[in-house]
Each structure stands twice: as structure tokens, then as C-alpha cells.
Structure 1
Amino acid sequence: MIDWNVARSTARRLMRPGPDLSAAEVEEVVAELREASRIAETPVREFTGLTPAYPTPVLVVDRPRWADANLASFELLLKPLDARLEAEGKLPTGLPRAVGRRVTGAEFGAIVAFLGGKVLGQFDPFAEGEAGPGRLLLVAPNVVHVERELDVDPTDFRRWVCLHEETHRAQFTAVPWMRDHMLAKVDEMMDATDIGGGAVTEMITDALPELVRIVRGESEKSLSDLFQNEQQRAVVDQITGTMSLLEGHADVVMDDIGPEIVPSVAEIRRKFTKRRGSGSTMQKIARRLLGYEAKMRQYSDGAKFVRTVTERVGQDGFDAVWAAPENLPTRAEIADPQAWVARVHG
């Protein structure tokens, strides 16, 4: 369905350049991010009780390399869907297919280019490594851009970012079923995809009124919400609950551990939270369309869930979320932590 070469070239072409850094400055940033990641490992393990079962690489990358890495993971995740649609004869052939793949590739590349200027770090659980799956990506130009924009201490900010990303690394490499669970949910989404017959036309027709509301800021939905069927929406609710937990947990860790190794953590959090709600009108529209605003809510909603559950049942009670997939909170339980406590702890 997607021409991945076009996606990669489009992302690179549209990717905005990062901050102007000399070779020496680049070397310093890369070295300090690697060191910040190393420094964050032990405090994260001790605070969370999550000990990774195997090592995963830490890659300090620029924006184009981040785009390449994510497109490679998307390509891997979408291969089963491509194969199924091919076998069912639901993909066009000849010129329409060639043109459609290039158009879709360009659209996908444009989205990745937009996100590539915003992501500070990311644990990619789907990449295959020598010791096991997963790799930690730290996007150096974005880290430098934000620390300068916020006017905060660079060393403190880099360590703060690494606390968050190291938590994600622990979540996926210390919880043995987490990666397979997420892959299974992606597979469920793919299995529920229907692009045959008039399915796409019908979805687009139904989506247009809601699309206008999204642009106006009157709806909390994103483009992806508009093109999901009922079965997919159920899976997305489950994935959203899990992602809110993971992001919120990482935010709690970075703020609670922060004072130990990040002296200015309170200032960084205050300025960073304010920045999340800023931006031009066009940027805010783009973020709404791509679901970026909803992604930001995952951090705050998930953090509230983690803190509320921990207050009510203690750290051991909260740690039940890592025991089995069925203990993960649903989207509704993220908003109502007591419902999760009642279901899991009785």
C-alpha cells in the first residue's frame, strides 16, 4: 500500500533543519546524551523495580535518521496487512497501484517529517537487536532546540529526558510480555482493516463533518479516529489505555527521581508543561489532525492514574499492572483509577 522509498525521501525533503551546531558542539551533545542515559539507568531500576532482562542499544540520532528508523518499524508492522490484502485481491493493480503507493508514501513521509521535529526521545520496542528486540533513540537536535527554547540548564534537561526514555526501556525489556502484547494489538488493528468495495468512500463521506470540527478545535478526535471501524475503535481504546499508563508512569518517574540527579527539575517541568500547550494556530490544527494533542493528554492522564493508584493501594498494588496483560488499565480506567483498583484488587 505504501511506497517506503517515497516515504523516506519525502520525510527527508520536508524535514526542517535542526539548530545550528558546530562539529565540536555536536560531539559534546552526543557524548552528554549517552552519559545521561547511562546515569539514568540505575535510579530508574531502583525506583520502578523493573530490571531489564537484556541490554538494548542507545542511539543518538539526527532528525533524518529518526525518520528512517521509524519508517523501518512501520514497514515491518504493516507487512502482514499488505500480504493479507494482496492475498484477498483487495489491492489495485497496474498504474493505479503504482500511483496510489507513491501518493500514500508521500503522505506518510510528510507526517513523519512533522513528528520528526518534535520527538525528543523514543524507545522503539519493535526493532530487532543482537541481544533482543528494542533500541533507545535520542534525537539530539530536538533536545538542543527545546532546551534552548525553554532556557534551561542543558545538562539537567538531557538527564530529565533520559529518565523518561529509560523508563520506557525498562517497561518493555523488564516486562516479558509487553512487546508481544503490543504487537498482538497492532495485528488486531490490521485484521479489522477493510479497504474493499465501498468501505473507504463510505468512511470518507461519514468523516467530513467531524473533520471540520477537528480543524475548528471542537472535537478531541484525530484523523485516525475518523477512519476506524467499530472493531478497530475497541482495540484503539485498549492501546490508548496501555500507552497512557506507560507515558504517565514515565512522567512520574522522571519527576520523582528528578531531584536526585536533576537539580532544576521543578523549573524544567513548569516550563515544559507550558510549552506543550503553546504553538501557532496552524501548528495546533496539525497537532489535532495527527492526534498529537491526544498524545499529550496521555502523559497527564496517565500520571494521574499512576499517582492515584499508588496512593490507594501502595507501590506493590500499582505494580500489579506489570503482572499480566489483563491487568493493564483500559482507556476508561485511566480516567477512573478506582475502577481499575476494584477490578484488579477487589
Structure 2
Amino acid sequence: MADDDTPDRFDPSDGFDPQDFQELLRNLLGGGGAGGIDPAQLEGLSRMGIDPAMLQQMMAQMQAAFAQPGAGDGIDWSAAKTQALHLSNKDGLSIAASERTEFDQAFALATLWLSEATTISELSAPPVAITRGDWVEQTLPVWQELAEPVADSIAGALTAAIGEQTPEEMRQLVAGAGAFMRRIGGSLFAAQLGGVIGRLSLEVVSGGDVGIPVMPDGVAAILPQNFADFGRDLDVTDDQLALYLATRELAHARLFRHARWLRLHVISQVTEFARGIHVDTSAFEDLAARFDPSQPEELRALIESGALLPQRTETQEAALGRLENLLATIEGWVDVVTADATARLPESAKIAEAVRRRRAVGGPAEQAMASLVGLELRPRRLREAAAMWRAVTDAVGSAERDGLWDYPDLMPTAEDIDDPQALVARLRARAAGEAPPRDAFDDALDELLAQAAEGDTPGEAPGDGRDGPDDREDPRPV
């Protein structure tokens, strides 16, 4: 309701007062849409400094946000799914029977070959050929989980910006709109996420193509619709390419099914990074100063480009380094196992190099995560990690190598990628029942213990840190 000062701020002769504004909100939120609002009300808004065209542009989004019963303050992700499926299904909704047969045969042979190259067991569910739309449906929950922290941040920033830009005399009228504006901001971000995922579905060739576990646990899949584009410039036969990609996809899916902890480990590192992001509200303010509601492309481009995301902090840079090492360790293992399993293919080396180069420049997940959560999923040390796994395989065999995935504390570290021979020496010592070779950590520990022993001598000054409830009287003569 208007306070006693309202007549000083709103002149009735302007043809618009707070009661008119309340009536406009009731029409809007009651589902009347643009048709339920008197044009005279929109004309009156301009006298209050509100752009009627911008308000009309927002109406559809506002009513869509309020049309979801029981949505509360959370993000409505239905817009993401709708947009992604619209893009993914534009070239067809089905796969030819001949293509399914081709990939079923490739998966069957790849399963046999892979069982010779790794001790990690087969999948319980048969691998499948899926459409782009199927890929969207099955991976969207993971993309949503990864992007939700940033979506919340954008929604909160929009709420704050609206509060700062609202004239003082109107703040009481819109005081209860915070949750509503959060849903508007979240819905806008969700729509952009759907667009990125939809375009991503036009590029990926398999479930593990993006480097992170986006498919359901234990599911291996290939997208025949994108298969031809991937191999167009490789100058290899389709049957060899299908066998290689099927083997690599199975290796990726087997690893994550075997190491149950690994999936959560990867997802947690990504979401931990994303939660450290705080949207720069100044970007909203700069856009508002020049925003043309008849051309909303600039707002969409702002979100898609990642311009709302500030520079990474030192903590985030460190988290990114850990994640890149983790992804390189995973994909390095997949590379080595796939190479061993496909050694019979004449062109396997050429295909492997094409896959590595594709991943080295970011792969199909690069745009998706870099623009939405500021995260580049590049396994920058993929070649070094693959060299480490090759050294381990040659030294101790596939069984000892695959055993490193049994528990999180056994998995190779970034230091092992730097020095594979130290890891090999530890594995050989463990297999022989011997104490592991000494390393820099052991030397540093010995030095600390020696310094502590030297400090425990007669004549030590009082207050040296050894006093305490467990101190005993020193029986040695002075």
C-alpha cells in the first residue's frame, strides 16, 4: 500500500498512481498476460520511468515462472530440457535399423577385445546406440547438478540488481517479489543451459566423450547421428572407427562402474569449483543501461559468453589444476587400455591421435562448462598421464595397474604423472612384499624427527614447548 508521502511522489494528474500499479501486478500475476492489461496502464508506466516494451518482453517469462505450481524458490529446469530437446531433435528422432546393427556388432567385438586388455569386469547392461534426444534426456540431470550453483548465483544477482534499481517509492510494492525474481533469473539461465546442451548433443559421439561421467552409471552408448561427422576427415573405414570408439566408450564406462567412488569424486570437484563463483552484478548494471528489449540477443549472449563470471580466484585455479590432473589420469588410463585392446586395427593409432587432439582443445564439453560455470574441462596432461599408465602396464602388468582404481588413496597423483618411475618402484616393492623405496617425503620426515631429537638435550631452555601435563622429571644428572 502507498504511504502518506505518496502524493508527493505521484501526481494524480499523471494518470497513474500506486493503485494502478497494484492493479497491473494483479492482472499480470493472475494469468491475464498482456491482453489483460489496459494500454493506458502501460502508458502510465513510462511516466514513472519504466519502459513498457521491456515489461511486455518480461511478461511471458514471468507468467511461465508463476505457472509452475509448488516450484518455490528453486530453479525450474524444464526450460533447459525443452530447449535442449528442440535443438537435438531437429534432424530426426530415430536411428536406422542398419546403424543399430552395425554398432551392436562393434560393441560385441569391442567387449571381447577389451576383456583381454583389462581385468576390470564387463558392464551388466548392454551398450546401446542412442539418439541425440536420448543423450539429452539421460545426461541432463548431471548437467543440472553441475550448473545449479551458478544458476543460484545468477538468480541472486538479478534479485539484488532489481532491488538496487527499483525507485525508493516502489520498493514497498515489490518487496515480496524476491523469490519471484529469483525464479525469473533461474529460468533464464536454465534456458541458456538447454541451448548449450542441445548444441552439445550435435557434437558428442559417445557417452564418455565429454570426459566426465554424464551418463547413468554403467551405461555405454554411441550416437550414430554424429558418427559420420567425427570420421569425415580421418580417412579411415567406418568399421574401424566404430570398433575404436566402441572400445573406448566401453573402457570409460567400465572404469566408472568399477571404481564406484570415482564418479562422486569427479562431480564433487566440479561442483566445489562452481560454488566458488559469484556473479558480477556490475555486468547486469552495464547491460541495463543500454538494453534494447526488442533485441534480447545481447542478454542471451552475455550469459552464454561467460561475461557474468568474474576472474578465477587462486583457490579456484588450484581446484582447476586438481580437476585437470584427475581428468588426465582417467583419460590416460582409457587411452592405454583402448590402444592395447584395438592393437589389431591398422588405423588405431591415427584414430587415437584424432581423439587426443580433440580433447586437448577442450572437446565438446569445453563450451558447455566454460561459458556456464567458468570451468574448462581440458585434460591438459593427457599425454603425460598416458605415458605414466604405459610405464605401469609394461612394468607390473594390467592386473596391478587396474588395482590402483580399487580405492581412492591408491590412485596415482600429479606427482606420479611427473615421475612414473617412482610409482613403478612402489608397485614393484609392494608386489614383492618389500618396504617401498624411500622418497622425498621420507627424507623430510627423517629430518624433522632428527631435529626433534636434537632439541631434547640437557640444558634446554625452559618454555621450549616440551612442558605439559605428561612431562616427567628428567632423571639424567645435570
Q: TM-score, normalised by structure 2?
A: 0.52
Q: Distance in 1 between matches of 2:369 and 2:377?
A: 8
Question: How far apart are residue 299 of structure 1 and its match?
Answer: 4.0
Mapping of residues 70-109 of structure 1, within 5 Å:
70-75=139-144, 92=159, 93-109=178-194
For 1:104-149, what per-residue CA distance to the aligned partner results, in whole angstroms no more than 9, with x for missing partners?
1122123223322322112485666xxxx43222111111222233
For 1:174-225, what per-residue CA distance to the aligned partner results, in whole angstroms no more than 9, with x for missing partners?
23433344455456456xx256xxx4328989xxxxxxxxxxxxxxxx9999
Counterpart in the other structure of 1:137 = 221
Matched-pair contact (CA < 8 Å) for 1:127–1:135: yes
Q: Distance in 2 between matches of 1:298 and 1:138?
A: 26
Counterpart in the other structure of 1:67 = 136
Rate the CA distance shift 1:288–1:332 in 2: closer, same or farther, 3 A: farther
Q: Distance in 2 between matches of 1:330 and 1:204?
A: 39
Counterpart in the other structure of 1:119 = 204
Give the AA of the match of 1:100: G
Question: How far apart are residue 99 of structure 1 and its match?
Answer: 2.3
Matched-pair contact (CA < 8 Å) for 1:33–1:60: yes
Q: Distance in 2 between matches of 1:56 and 1:255?
A: 24
Counterpart in the other structure of 1:324 = 407
Deviates most, 106-115 or 294-303: 294-303
Counterpart in the other structure of 2:383 = 300
Counterpart in the other structure of 1:32 = 102
Question: How far apart are residue 159 of structure 1 and its match?
Answer: 0.8
Counterpart in the other structure of 1:9 = 82
Q: Distance in 2 between matches of 1:185 and 1:200?
A: 20
Rate the CA distance shift 1:298–1:225 in 2: closer, same or farther, 3 A: farther
Rate the CA distance shift 1:330–1:237 in 2: closer, same or farther, 3 A: farther
Structure 2, unpaired ranges of 5+ = 1-73, 160-177, 285-305, 428-435, 438-478
Rate the CA distance shift 1:339–1:3 in 2: closer, same or farther, 3 A: farther
What secondary structure is seen at the aligned counterpart in 2 of 1:150? Answer: coil
Give the AA of the match of 2:205: L
Q: Distance in 2 between matches of 1:33 and 1:153?
A: 14
Q: Distance in 1 between matches of 2:238 and 2:90?
A: 20
Rate the CA distance shift 1:323–1:139 in 2: closer, same or farther, 3 A: same
Q: Which has the larger radius of gyration?
A: 2
Question: How far apart are residue 266 of structure 1 and its match?
Answer: 3.5
Give the AA of the match of 1:318: R
Question: How far apart are residue 17 of structure 1 and its match?
Answer: 5.8
Give the AA of the match of 1:319: D
Matched-pair contact (CA < 8 Å) for 1:8–1:109: yes
What secondary structure is seen at the aligned counterpart in 2 of 1:318? Answer: helix
Give the AA of the match of 2:393: T
Counterpart in the other structure of 1:200 = 279
- How many residue pairs end up in the alignment? 307
Question: How far apart are residue 246 of structure 1 and its match?
Answer: 1.7
Give the AA of the match of 2:125: T
Q: Distance in 2 between matches of 1:278 and 1:178?
A: 24
Counterpart in the other structure of 1:309 = 392
Matched-pair contact (CA < 8 Å) for 1:244–1:302: yes
Match of 2:116 among 36, 42, 46: 46
Give the AA of the match of 1:72: P
Q: Distance in 2 between matches of 1:313 and 1:239?
A: 27
Q: Distance in 1 between matches of 2:227 and 2:182?
A: 39
Give the AA of the match of 2:322: Q
Counterpart in the other structure of 2:245 = 161
Q: Distance in 1 between matches of 2:142 and 2:376?
A: 23
Matched-pair contact (CA < 8 Å) for 2:280–2:308: no
Higher RCO (CA-CA < 8 Å; seq separation 6+): 1
Matched-pair contact (CA < 8 Å) for 1:66–1:116: yes
Give the AA of the match of 1:310: T
What secondary structure is seen at the aligned counterpart in 2 of 1:200? Answer: coil
Matched-pair contact (CA < 8 Å) for 1:15–1:64: yes
Matched-pair contact (CA < 8 Å) for 1:248–1:299: yes
Q: Distance in 2 between matches of 1:327 and 1:32?
A: 38
Matched-pair contact (CA < 8 Å) for 2:118–2:399: no
1:245 aligns with 2:329: yes
Structure 1, unpaired ranges of 5+ = 206-221
Question: How far apart are residue 258 of structure 1 and its match?
Answer: 1.1
Matched-pair contact (CA < 8 Å) for 2:139–2:215: no
Matched-pair contact (CA < 8 Å) for 1:119–1:139: yes
Give the AA of the match of 1:329: P
Q: Distance in 1 between matches of 2:425 and 2:308?
A: 32
What secondary structure is seen at the aligned counterpart in 2 of 1:134? Answer: coil
Rate the CA distance shift 1:140–1:180 in 2: closer, same or farther, 3 A: same
Matched-pair contact (CA < 8 Å) for 1:58–1:136: yes
Q: Distance in 2 between matches of 1:271 and 1:28?
A: 26
Q: Distance in 2 between matches of 1:242 and 1:289?
A: 18
Q: Distance in 2 between matches of 1:312 and 1:325?
A: 22
1:258 aligns with 2:342: yes
Rate the CA distance shift 1:295–1:37 in 2: closer, same or farther, 3 A: farther
Match of 2:263 among 172, 175, 179: 179
Q: Distance in 1 between matches of 2:256 and 2:96?
A: 29
Rate the CA distance shift 1:118–1:95 in 2: closer, same or farther, 3 A: same
